[in-house]
Amino acid sequence: MIEHPTASARQLQDVVAAGFSRGVIPSLAHYRTPEQSAAWRAVATSFFDRAPGRSAFDDVYTEIAENGPGTPVHVIALGCGDGSKEEALVRNLCLAGLDVAITLADISPSLLQLAGARQEAIENVRVLTSIACDVTTVGGSLADLIEYLPGRRVITMFGVLPGLTTMSAFESVASLMRDGDLFAFSGNMLPDGAGEIERLCDFYATGSAHDWMALVFSGAGIDTESLSWSVAPAYASEVFAVATVSVKAEVLRDCVANVGDHAIQLEAGQTIDTFRSHRHSSESLTNLTESLGMKLICLRLSDSGEEGVVLARK
Ligand SMILES: C[S@@+](CC[C@H](N)C(=O)[O-])C[C@H]1O[C@@H](n2cnc3c(N)ncnc32)[C@H](O)[C@@H]1O
């Protein structure tokens, strides 16, 4: 596994400490430790129980195979997590008779290891480098770490957009794409209907989702009795979102967040923007794709109405 400087322990401590100081925890802070990775996987698994039905991802895997990536095809998975989505994609491409290689990138070494093991278990797939990096700051230097292969690249970035506060991750994507390459990414959707955003807020306010988000505080030595949580809709325009489920923690008594060598004083009454799940519509995902200068091939929605997956071509 290659560790890019943006993912060094020191750098991540600086980024997370700056997040506590500014009162905005970056998304990457929720996946760093093995404990957080395991807790996030529990949340991801619980999604299948509350949102049964056909998944948009399956449709897009088929579309990718049918959109002539040619052979060989190089999948580059950004924010791959445990790699379960790319595993399904790669199996689909192999079934279509394509020769497949894959490169994995994520901020979390423990998730990268899981993702690597999943791909290794697939017959006839070349698993290339795994790269620990911050996709929001790595920029064009990511391209230097990625092996050149002839044929098409398929860049994936699933589940990352909902947590972003800027568009900078798309600069890394742009630096990897050559003319004709494919880009598949997913957004969390705001399902149609009254009361949907409140229903989503309830999901993040309790249970496994809440336990997972609290780990960023316990990891910094702050017990959850020192916090009061609120989950509410917000209507920020970040990353083309139409709405955001915004999770905030109010600090109830003065305390100190310890992150590596950093000790950040938090004061009673201060609010920490802990987590965000940006929500999109078909129109906002289409606008985002066009803003990247890419041609939309398809946009598929899961039966749940909560997942939207875009396939685009450079
Ligand atoms: C919601 S999970 C999605 C994982 C997987 N792609 C999926 O769809 O199941 C978000 C993933 O993005 C990674 N991530 C979040 N912010 C990141 C960043 N700035 N740089 C690299 N990876 C990041 C996390 O470690 C996590 O694996």
In the chain the domains, ranked by start, together with CATH numbers, are 56-190+281-313 (3.40.50.150)
Residue 89 Cβ < 6 Å to ligand 1 = no
Residue 31 Cβ < 6 Å to ligand 1 = yes
CB-count burial class (<10 Å; 0-12, 13-18, 19+) for 304? middle
Q: How far is CA 106 from CA 1, 75, 114, 153, in A?
A: 11, 14, 11, 18
Residue 289 Cβ < 6 Å to ligand 1 = no
Residue with CA at minimum distance from ligand 1 atom 3 = 159
Residue with CA at minimum distance from ligand 1 atom 13 = 79
Residue 28 Cβ < 6 Å to ligand 1 = yes
Substitution candidate for ligand 1 out of 80, 141, 160, 309 with most atoms within 8 A of CB: 160
Structure tokens at 300: 């598929």
Residue with CA at minimum distance from ligand 1 atom 9 = 81
DSSP string, 19-85: HHHHTB--GGGGSSSHHHHHHHHHHHHHHHHHS-S--HHHHHHHHHHHT---SSEEEEEET-TTSHH
At residue 235, the pLDDT reads: 83
Substitution candidate for ligand 1 out of 107, 136, 302 with most atoms within 8 A of CB: 107
Give the pTM. 0.97
Check if the beta carbon of residue 145 is closer than 8 Å to that of residue 2: yes
At residue 47, the pLDDT reads: 79
In this structure, what are the phi and psi dihedrals at residue 185, rounded to the nearest 5 degrees?
-145, 160
Residue with CA at minimum distance from ligand 1 atom 11 = 79
At residue 50, the pLDDT reads: 72
At residue 197, the pLDDT reads: 93
In this structure, what are the phi and psi dihedrals at residue 39, rounded to the nearest 5 degrees?
-65, -40
Helix (H) or strand (E) holding 87: helix 84-95
At residue 97, the pLDDT reads: 92
pLDDT in tens, the chain (314 residues): 999 999 999 999 999 999 999 999 999 999 999 999 999 999 998 877 777 789 999 999 999 999 877 889 999 999 999 999 999 999 999 999 999 999 999 999 999 999 999 999 999 899 999 999 999 999 999 999 999 999 999 999 999 999 999 999 999 999 999 999 999 999 999 999 999 999 999 999 989 999 999 999 999 999 989 999 999 999 877 899 999 999 999 999 999 999 999 999 999 999 999 999 999 999 999 999 999 999 999 999 999 999 999 999 99
**Residues 123-149, buried b or exposed e (16+ Cβ, 10 A)?**
eebebbebbbbbbbbbbeebeeebeee
168 CA to middle of ligand 1, Å? 14
Number of H helices, E strands in the chain: 10, 13
